[in-house]
Structure 1
């Protein structure tokens, strides 16, 4: 069995949906409650057993790397003042088991191209995760099952090493906003995977094969990198990850749709970011 321990997180985007907040601050560093958005995503990876993070970045995003780096002067100052709780908070940002590697995407050519930029950091035939940082994936509120969905999806992958695409059910009126999974009419239960036949990008609600939308979490075989290396531009004249996944299906390899149990917050837009802050802050005990 191949061990899946690396996650590629593309962070090279301009964050235009969060302007003007993201003009001088990377969108991934925008706070959600008490920590930057990117830290929530890295913590999700660690909780699932993924401890090697590859950031696909660009000029102007150094604050992301700095966040996970050691700040000697700050730590010395806190130590001298006896502020151990704050020192512990800083230590939790980058625990010893976490490694962060950065690679540049020289030009914006789509998600598939961003993922391909990290290919040389994988061993031959090594599987990997892709996690989009715009979307927070959180368990249901306290009192419900708190196991993370990425960990659940990892368990499904370990059973048969089939590619896994995380999906959630969306209202019929919203399917035209997403990539929608075709599962041949089958409907997985929460926390379950079923074989998928393809992905339809932003279909008309009347023609959508399901209401299961792709939400930005993928577990993929190394073969995807080989396919991306020859993938022609697709929608928007960009190299699309979903096109390479379709080619994987055409080769006869099975890809499964994993239906999440928890909930998502789209923090790539102002409304979703405000919703995440308000709801998660209340659940953490803050008065808002």
Structure 2
């Protein structure tokens, strides 16, 4: 039986300008905008940690200092909470303060492919988990599922979710063929935001297992029509000589990089929130009846 290197490192690009949340993101990093009381990026980090990731690299940009501050200790806050005996709040405040998180900065907004390229030194010769910060999952730990697949097959893997045909032009769409296992497909090609008919209704869902062979391809790429270096273009090139798997995620997927997705995620998570749900559920029911 072949044993493949364990996936112990994760990369989280968080350098986007967040223009879809202006004016809020004029002074606040979009990744810090909360879903109820938890910043979006904390959901991403916790997913990776729960999946057994040991080291995380967050790729930031100008105006993203709040991300580093959030995952750092806040001595004065902790001292205040401790002195007042607010143990529950103290636990929440310190929960994210002792994690093995590293940072590097993408100096210019040159695309996701360029952001991933900034992880080359951190990754070295290891396979790694890539988690996009605009995508939140609920249910099965998607990162764990991808790591398990890599342990079995040792192949680059892309998570996918089914989307309506009229929304395909918003996503990277996967051209797939079936295998003998449910939810697992071979990828024949990728199309970034197709303007014509998409090859399938399976869209890339912001989680990848990538191998270090992707870096030379990213280095050789020229910016596309948007002026950015696209990860999809690198994966298309990689797929010419290497097999790529797609895993259809059976859980829930929310895009929190735009207002509608953030609103939906906030409602769904509020229905589970121990301090909100008892008042929120009756309100939602009453609101639904009035529409």
Provide Cα deviations, 1:79-134, integer angstroms capped at 9, x if missing partner. 1222211121123224x5x31111011111110001101211122x2111111111
- 8 A Cα contact 1:188 1:259, kept in partner: no
Report whether the alignment pairs 1:264 with 2:267: no
Q: Residue 88 of structure 1 aligns to a residue in which SS?
A: helix
2:185 aligned to 184, 194, 197, which one? 194
Provide Cα deviations, 1:157-179, integer angstroms capped at 9, x if missing partner. 11011011010001122112211
Residue 136 of structure 1 deviates from its aligned partner by 0.7
Question: Which residue of structure 2 lines up, in the alignment, with residue 21 of structure 1?
Answer: 24
Q: Residue 246 of structure 2 aligns to a residue in which SS?
A: strand
- 8 A Cα contact 2:135 2:255, kept in partner: yes
Farther-moved stretch of structure 1 (25-34 vs 82-91): 82-91
Question: Which residue of structure 1 lines up, in the alignment, with residue 284 of structure 2?
Answer: none
Closer/same/farther in 2, CA of residues 68 and 188 from structure 1, 3 Å limit: farther
What value does the CA root-mean-square deviation take over the aligned residues?
Answer: 1.7
Closer/same/farther in 2, CA of residues 189 and 282 from structure 1, 3 Å limit: farther
Q: How many aligned residue pairs are there?
A: 274
Question: Which residue of structure 2 lines up, in the alignment, with residue 43 of structure 1?
Answer: 46
TM-score (norm 1): 0.90
- 8 A Cα contact 2:58 2:104, kept in partner: yes
Aligned equivalents of 1:122, 1:219: Cα separation in 2: 12
Question: Which residue of structure 2 lines up, in the alignment, with residue 135 of structure 1?
Answer: 135
2:218 aligned to 217, 228, 244, which one? 228
1:249 aligned to 239, 263, 266, which one? 239
Report whether the alignment pairs 1:171 with 2:174: no
Provide Cα deviations, 1:26-55, integer angstroms capped at 9, x if missing partner. 000001012111101101111111131111
Question: Which residue of structure 1 lines up, in the alignment, with residue 122 of structure 2?
Answer: 121
Kindly report structure 1 stretches of 4+ aligned residues shifted beyond 4 Å. 187-190
Question: Which residue of structure 2 lines up, in the alignment, with residue 100 of structure 1?
Answer: 101
Aligned equivalents of 1:189, 1:236: Cα separation in 2: 37
Aligned equivalents of 2:269, 2:89: Cα separation in 1: 21
Question: Which residue of structure 2 lines up, in the alignment, with residue 9 of structure 1?
Answer: 12
Question: Which residue of structure 2 lines up, in the alignment, with residue 144 of structure 1?
Answer: none
Aligned equivalents of 1:235, 1:168: Cα separation in 2: 26
- 8 A Cα contact 1:189 1:259, kept in partner: no
Gaps of 5+ in 2: 281-291
- 8 A Cα contact 1:188 1:258, kept in partner: no
